A and B are shown apart, each in its own frame.
Chain A
Amino acid sequence: MQALALLLALNFNAAPDFDQEIKPFLIRSCVSCHNAESKRGAYRLDSARALIKGGNSGPAIVSGKSSQSLIIQAVTGNENIEQMPPKGQKLSKNEIELLKKWIDSGAPLPASEMALVEGNKKTSHWSFLPVTNATAPIVSDKSWCKNPIDNFILNRLDKEKMSPSAMADKPTLIRRVTLDLIGLLPTPLEVENFINDNSSGAYEKLVNRLLDSPHYGERWGRLWLDQARYADSNGYSIDGPRLIWRYRDWVINALNTDMPFDRFSKLQLAGDLVSGSNFEDKIATGFHRNTPVNQEGGIDKEQFRVESVVDRVNTTGSVWLGLTVGCCQCHDHKFDALSQREYYQFFAFFNTVDEPSIELASQQEIKKRDSLKASLKKLEAAQKQIDPLTPAKIASLELKIQSRELLPPSINEILAIAINGRTPRQERQIDSYFRQMDRIQHLVGVVVAANPIEAALQGFIYEKREKLELMITKAKETMPEIESSLVVQEMAKPRATNIHLGGEFTRKGAVVEAGVPLVLPAMKLANNVKPNRVDFSNWLFDPSNPLTSRVAVNRFWQVFFGVGIVETENDFGTQGTLPTHPELLDWLASEFINQGWSMKSMHRLMVNSSTYMQGSRTRPEYDKIDARNRLLYKQNRIRLDAEIVRDVGLCASGLLYNRVGGPSVFPPQPEGVYSFTQVPKNWKSNIGLNRYRRGMYTYFWRSAPHPNLVVFDAPDAVSSCTKRNRSNTPLQALTLLNDESQVEFARDLANHLVAVSASDTERINRAFLVCLARLPKPTEVEVIKKLLNQNTVSKTETSTWFQVARAMLNLDEFITRE
């Protein structure tokens, strides 16, 4: 059937496709006047139906007869009719020919309009229909099925006369599921325990342990942060720092406590409006504060405010509904049953918010802090009169320090942190240290002064200075440190929302009220209630909403199998791909609701399936039938995410500092990263434990993210990312071969190998066990031994094993989940 359709489409004489060939030039030349909002001559040209129907001048076409059709006369112009469009670009000869040909072929409606029934926005498109109650189908081999997922997969393979792959071996399984659930490598001990555990529930036990790990929230939190476009800076060209890591930690926490997905979502969309909203709920609204902010001079602020609302609408559409509502910003959706008006109704939900930063403390605490601040300010003003050290001077002193060895270690440690990475307490320590040094100099000056009057005067000033310093230090010490986070807050007086004609915010059309697309189930509201973001979230999670649950389970699936059941994970509309296993998708979607939207339950279900546990070896016999493995006759090999590429290096080297949460950190990065940014960033690599935190905690400057993240396809945090690219480039090779962090990892791994045993064979085994959770094959041992023998130039044992460690950390298998 499909082949036939394709043949027909290629037919030289076939009618032009309205959506592909005609609509684009109508949008360019006609639609700005003839649209839903401004129906010049009561005529719309934004769909084939409307075009055919005509306007004030009567029907616009005579089907099959272009020469008699009004629209052709209009675009060519004659003595009776002014040529259209009156202003702007006319249609080219070619375009008029296309239009004629379409009319002469009977003006066929495009597929996108076939599904619509005029006047009643309903569609037969699969994803807009209710989730069906699917039951696990019958299969050829019941014993293979661990849970209903397997029935659906095997049933489909049965139909194609295909068979699933054998289960992966235990080393592969533990490495795979550990990477998928917590994003870290299993330790050799964990591998050993798992291999030796012959009890029937050994694997399920392993899965439960991983789901209970605090690192589960990190792994799955990072995936959510992709969608939330989380970063530590404002973006655009100035790209100043921002404080919003508390939101990142909120996400990690919510996942670790298995907060149900409906609540998880509602708090992020409307945490400021839920009843009894507390600090944590408000922090959650940071989701929509992750929009970039332009701090450039001379900008039109309204323009960028509108852009951030547009981003919120598009992100919400893509994250929860899997819809590309963004197209409707400028015009009615070309393919899906969404109008521009509906877009701005959606827009209205997010157009009435303020964007403050809240302090995470009680009113009382804040008041107390404010009054302390006020008295401190007075003290500092007094100090300023007699104390020559201003904060700017202190900063410049810091740069002038010649020899760090003379400074106390506690101060040195802080100086090693970039200025913008220090905590307020650390800043104070530095400040008081420099002041103390200066006062000592002052005192020495008093003592050695030759002139007694001068000495007395300086002595007096010195004493006053000391006193003030003491009071200031005390005031600062008692000052409570109050953290803050960027949040969304409903405006006291909501602003009205207009349609932006052509997507331009300066061209205001009709006023619209908040609402949801007609093609989806209506909101359940009490009479005369203007819906807000809480109502919107409730609507998302109404069991009748056909999209939310399907979209979410499909994204989980994508993580465990590389590709979703619906491959276009952010387009469930008519232009997206169809699900390969529609019943399975619906079964999972219902199951998610039945499990009370528990994400952990769904993840457990997926990794406990035989489908997931298959081996990933290619099967040439299926190359012709299903080369891309869409039917899942095997597992897929997946290159690890950028942050996890770092994490596995940290694991293998034993350097990982596994603290969960907290401010972002500064691991080493090569010189010269900021030679291309407008405003140079201060990046001083951490020393101490924070140098070895997981990749997800690396400070993320939008204008110049850490190069190791960029090179392995971490999203740019400019807009929501629902699926990462997985490229394979020479720059990745250079990073793994030569980067400072990688060298450190290799060095520590080498030390470990040398310490663990005196025998080469045992060391090689250990290297494979640590890095790949398996033992080497004889051919692999030979390759390593060759490398060992080549390295006679190197003097020490460690430097020889350093080479081996480097080779291990560069293997494709090392950065791949098999």
Chain B
Amino acid sequence: MNNDNLLLSSTRRHFFKNCTLGLGGIALAELLNGKSNALTIGGLHHKPKAKNVIFLFMAGGPSQLDLFDEKPELTRWHAKPIPQEFIKGKRFAFMDTFSKETPKLLASPRKFKKYGQSGAVISDLFPHLGSVADDITIVRSVATNVFNHAPAKVFMNTGSAQFGRPSIGSWVTYGIGSESSSLPGFVVLQSGPRGPRGGSACWSSGFLPTSFQGVPLRGAGEPILNLSSPKGINNEEQRNVLDAVRDLNSVRLLDTGDPEIASRIASYEMAHRMQSSAPELIDLSREDQRTLNLYGPAVSKPSFARNCLLARRLVERGTRFVQLYHTDWDHHGGGDANLETGIEKVCNEVDQPASALIADLKQRGLLEDTLVVWGGEFGRTPMSELRETTGRNHHIDAFTMWLAGGGIKAGGHFGKTDDFGFSPIEDRVHVHDLHATMLHLLGIDHLKLVFKFQGRNFRLTDVHGEIVPKLLA
């Protein structure tokens, strides 16, 4: 279309002129036009270290004490009641059952091993992860505020336990746009037996325009809702309708002079590009066998492994923020949700693909500007629960996440917890601090990325958050 440039300048002028959407409006214009300029690549407030984010969200709350945070003292104290000073005045989930008697400490049955030059300690549940130990940094001192799944997930994503705030992916795409001209800037992929608690609130754009909402890419059937043309309409016929719509909209644009119509024309063009680029994205036939093997056999069907590979393909194609949810980490002890078979199953699903993602990004030179984050909404208690199989309760004071790439200092551990792993005793990283640091790496000052809503300037980090300088490369 030779009107492209005219359209582009007109759309951009519209957003600059009205400027009610602020920087996000400009990012939106870029998104719609499928073009990026110095503003989005250059970062918002300072030179960025990372361009993209892949957030591997382990929904349910992985047990850090059985994966990363080895505690010999727990073995010594196994089955003894936890000393009162630890739990006095604390609130837990399932308070009524948990406080019937003083809960007893639970040793981890797992064997831990040191990996790589950094000597990262990882349990036998994650044998593959050791192979990339020097590329990741294990943060053992993360803390959050809320101990129920849905609000805690929403908190990890939006910095607030209350539903209705924008998620980090929305803030980021609002702030610096996306580099993809034919795919959404913020994409959500999901695997595991059911959807994550909190649902779409986890990737909601809250009070930001809906164009910054996470777009779920579906594992089966159409990757995006309403992506395919209606039954019986071939590509040419679809294009004919699009041409007519564009021509009629252009007539109207001339008649009214409303630049919103130019935006509409641009978004129809983007929609049409998505109709071919999204199927191309999920078509893995051109990936070589070596790569497919790297991610493991599950890559051939809808799975976490397949989603990890899709995440790499998405950032390759310029998508700014990719979030993967893998459910079933809620190992209370009870039925299959236990720390014996339950955790083994889910670790088995996650270990190889997550490690493969790091290795694959690295070999393609993508890791240096892709920030990878692994972790859940909270961790699990050093104490066991009174249930039929072994398990731990939700724990918010200390848990483990790992970070890689995108300007993170690679290798080893960060932060330290006490002998039972109950609280951080060194380098506590609160979720707000994690958010501040993630934004910082993307070139965004978390204090300056604000949106005024209901009379107040809102930030991802609310009124909190400190960048963690020691984590930066």
- Who on chain A is nearest to B327 by CB? A678
**Contact yes or no, A235 B263, CB < 8 A:** no
Let me know if B198 is at the binding interface, CB within 8 A. Answer: yes
**Contact yes or no, B241 A783, CB < 8 A:** no
Which stretch in B72-80, B107-115, B223-231, B354-362 binds the other chain?
Answer: B223-231
**Contact yes or no, B245 A810, CB < 8 A:** yes
Let me know if A817 is at the binding interface, CB within 8 A. Answer: no
Let me know if A559 is at the binding interface, CB within 8 A. Answer: no
> CA A237 – CA B201 in complex, angstroms?
9
Residues 220-243 of B, flagged 1 when their CB comes within 8 A of A and 0 if not, give 111011111111101011101111
B-chain residues with CB within 8 Å of residue A807 when the two chains form the complex: 241, 244-245, 248
Among B17, B226, B231, B247, the residue within 8 A (CB) of A783 is B247
**Contact yes or no, B199 A677, CB < 8 A:** yes
Q: Count chain A CB atoms within 10 A of each CB in B148, B216, B249 and give the residue with the most.
A: B148
**Contact yes or no, A787 B267, CB < 8 A:** no
Residues 601-620 of A, flagged 1 when their CB comes within 8 A of B and 0 if not, give 00000000000000011101
> CA A603 – CA B368 in complex, angstroms?
59
> CA A2 – CA B255 in complex, angstroms?
36
Among B226, B231, B251, B456, the residue within 8 A (CB) of A324 is B456
> CA A461 – CA B178 in complex, angstroms?
71
A-chain residues with CB within 8 Å of residue B271 when the two chains form the complex: 730-731, 733-734, 737
Which stretch in B127-135, B207-215, B307-315, B408-416 binds the other chain?
Answer: B207-215
> CA A663 – CA B140 in complex, angstroms?
51
Chain B contacts with A in 257-275, Cβ cutoff 8 A:
257-258, 260-261, 263-265, 267-268, 270-272, 274-275
**Smallest CB–CB gap between A317 and chain B, Å?**
10
Let me know if B454 is at the binding interface, CB within 8 A. Answer: yes
Among A677, A739, A793, A813, the residue within 8 A (CB) of B237 is A793
B-chain residues with CB within 8 Å of residue A570 when the two chains form the complex: 454-455
**Contact yes or no, B230 A670, CB < 8 A:** no
Among B209, B226, B228, B238, the residue within 8 A (CB) of A727 is B209
Which stretch in B62-70, B188-196, B292-300, B345-353 binds the other chain?
Answer: B188-196
Chain B contacts with A in 93-115, Cβ cutoff 8 A:
93-95
Let me know if A305 is at the binding interface, CB within 8 A. Answer: no
**Contact yes or no, B194 A678, CB < 8 A:** yes
Let me know if A571 is at the binding interface, CB within 8 A. Answer: yes
**Smallest CB–CB gap between A722 and chain B, Å?**
8
**Contact yes or no, A618 B257, CB < 8 A:** yes
**Contact yes or no, A235 B163, CB < 8 A:** yes
Which stretch in A380-388, A421-429, A712-720 binds the other chain?
Answer: A712-720
> CA A760 – CA B91 in complex, angstroms?
73
> CA A676 – CA B216 in complex, angstroms?
8
- Who on chain B is nearest to A672 by CB? B218
Which stretch in A75-83, A128-136, A295-303 binds the other chain?
Answer: A295-303
Which size bracket describes the interface of B in this complex?
35 or more
A-chain residues with CB within 8 Å of residue B118 when the two chains form the complex: none
Among B94, B151, B256, B456, the residue within 8 A (CB) of A618 is B256
A-chain residues with CB within 8 Å of residue B473 when the two chains form the complex: none
**Contact yes or no, A734 B227, CB < 8 A:** yes
**Smallest CB–CB gap between B301 and chain A, Å?**
15
- Who on chain A is nearest to B220 by CB? A672
Among B216, B228, B237, B251, the residue within 8 A (CB) of A779 is B251
Among A236, A616, A738, the residue within 8 A (CB) of B150 is A236
**Smallest CB–CB gap between B200 and chain A, Å?**
6
Chain A contacts with B in 299-327, Cβ cutoff 8 A:
299-300, 307, 318, 323-324, 326-327
**Contact yes or no, B199 A675, CB < 8 A:** no
Chain A contacts with B in 534-588, Cβ cutoff 8 A:
568, 570-571, 573, 575-576
> CA A791 – CA B256 in complex, angstroms?
30
Let me know if B463 is at the binding interface, CB within 8 A. Answer: yes
**Contact yes or no, B274 A734, CB < 8 A:** yes
B-chain residues with CB within 8 Å of residue A790 when the two chains form the complex: 240
**Contact yes or no, A780 B251, CB < 8 A:** yes
Let me know if A187 is at the binding interface, CB within 8 A. Answer: no
Let me know if A639 is at the binding interface, CB within 8 A. Answer: yes
Let me know if B32 is at the binding interface, CB within 8 A. Answer: yes
> CA A493 – CA B272 in complex, angstroms?
62
Question: Known: A296-B197, A299-B148. Contact between A716 and B93, CB under 8 A?
Answer: no
Chain B contacts with A in 135-154, Cβ cutoff 8 A:
148-151
**Contact yes or no, A728 B455, CB < 8 A:** no
A-chain residues with CB within 8 Å of residue B197 when the two chains form the complex: 237, 296, 678
Let me know if B22 is at the binding interface, CB within 8 A. Answer: no
Chain B contacts with A in 172-202, Cβ cutoff 8 A:
184, 188, 190, 194-201
**Smallest CB–CB gap between A632 and chain B, Å?**
16
Let me know if A509 is at the binding interface, CB within 8 A. Answer: no
Let me know if A506 is at the binding interface, CB within 8 A. Answer: yes
**Contact yes or no, A627 B241, CB < 8 A:** no
**Contact yes or no, A718 B252, CB < 8 A:** no
**Contact yes or no, B227 A738, CB < 8 A:** yes
Let me know if B9 is at the binding interface, CB within 8 A. Answer: no
> CA A327 – CA B454 in complex, angstroms?
10
B-chain residues with CB within 8 Å of residue A673 when the two chains form the complex: 225
> CA A660 – CA B442 in complex, angstroms?
51
Let me know if B18 is at the binding interface, CB within 8 A. Answer: yes
**Contact yes or no, A733 B222, CB < 8 A:** no
Let me know if B204 is at the binding interface, CB within 8 A. Answer: yes
Let me know if A496 is at the binding interface, CB within 8 A. Answer: no
> CA A753 – CA B243 in complex, angstroms?
21
Let me know if B164 is at the binding interface, CB within 8 A. Answer: yes
Let me know if B341 is at the binding interface, CB within 8 A. Answer: no
Among A296, A738, A784, A799, the residue within 8 A (CB) of B229 is A738
Q: Count chain B CB atoms within 10 A of each CB in A623, A732, A810 and give the residue with the most.
A: A810
Let me know if A695 is at the binding interface, CB within 8 A. Answer: no
**Smallest CB–CB gap between B82 and chain A, Å?**
19
B-chain residues with CB within 8 Å of residue A806 when the two chains form the complex: 230, 241
**Contact yes or no, B219 A24, CB < 8 A:** no
Chain A contacts with B in 723-756, Cβ cutoff 8 A:
725, 727-735, 737-739, 743
Let me know if B276 is at the binding interface, CB within 8 A. Answer: no
A-chain residues with CB within 8 Å of residue B291 when the two chains form the complex: none
- Who on chain A is nearest to B95 by CB? A300
B-chain residues with CB within 8 Å of residue A812 when the two chains form the complex: 249, 252, 260-261, 264-265
Let me know if A707 is at the binding interface, CB within 8 A. Answer: yes
Among B258, B268, B272, the residue within 8 A (CB) of A637 is B258
**Smallest CB–CB gap between B472 and chain A, Å?**
18
A-chain residues with CB within 8 Å of residue B215 when the two chains form the complex: 731
Among A236, A335, A811, the residue within 8 A (CB) of B249 is A811
Let me know if A674 is at the binding interface, CB within 8 A. Answer: yes
Among A237, A292, A326, A680, the residue within 8 A (CB) of B149 is A237
Please name 19 further chain A to chain B contacts, defined as beta carbons within 8 Å, in addition to the given A738-B226, A810-B268, sorted by A numbering: A237-B150, A294-B150, A300-B95, A568-B455, A637-B258, A670-B225, A671-B221, A673-B225, A675-B190, A676-B195, A678-B194, A703-B201, A710-B210, A716-B204, A728-B211, A733-B264, A807-B245, A807-B248, A813-B249
Give me 20 A-to-B residue pairs in the complex whose CB atoms sit less than 8 angstroms apart, sorted by A's number.
Answer: A24-B463, A298-B93, A327-B455, A616-B258, A617-B255, A675-B190, A730-B271, A730-B274, A733-B268, A733-B272, A734-B224, A734-B226, A735-B225, A737-B229, A737-B268, A739-B226, A787-B244, A803-B241, A811-B248, A812-B265
The 8 tightest CB contacts between A and B, nearest first, are A571-B455, A618-B257, A733-B271, A324-B455, A237-B197, A237-B150, A298-B94, A298-B93
**Which A residues have a C-beta under 8 Å from some C-beta of B?**
24, 27-28, 235-237, 239, 292, 294, 296-300, 307, 318, 323-324, 326-327, 335, 506, 568, 570-571, 573, 575-576, 616-618, 620, 623, 627-628, 637, 639, 670-680, 703-704, 707, 710-711, 713, 716, 718-719, 725, 727-735, 737-739, 743, 777, 779-780, 783-784, 786-787, 790-791, 793-794, 799, 803-804, 806-807, 810-813, 818
**Which B residues have a C-beta under 8 Å from some C-beta of A?**
17-18, 20, 28, 32, 91, 93-95, 148-151, 162-164, 184, 188, 190, 194-201, 204, 207, 209-211, 213, 215-216, 218-222, 224-232, 234, 236-238, 240-245, 247-249, 251-252, 255-258, 260-261, 263-265, 267-268, 270-272, 274-275, 394, 454-456, 463-464
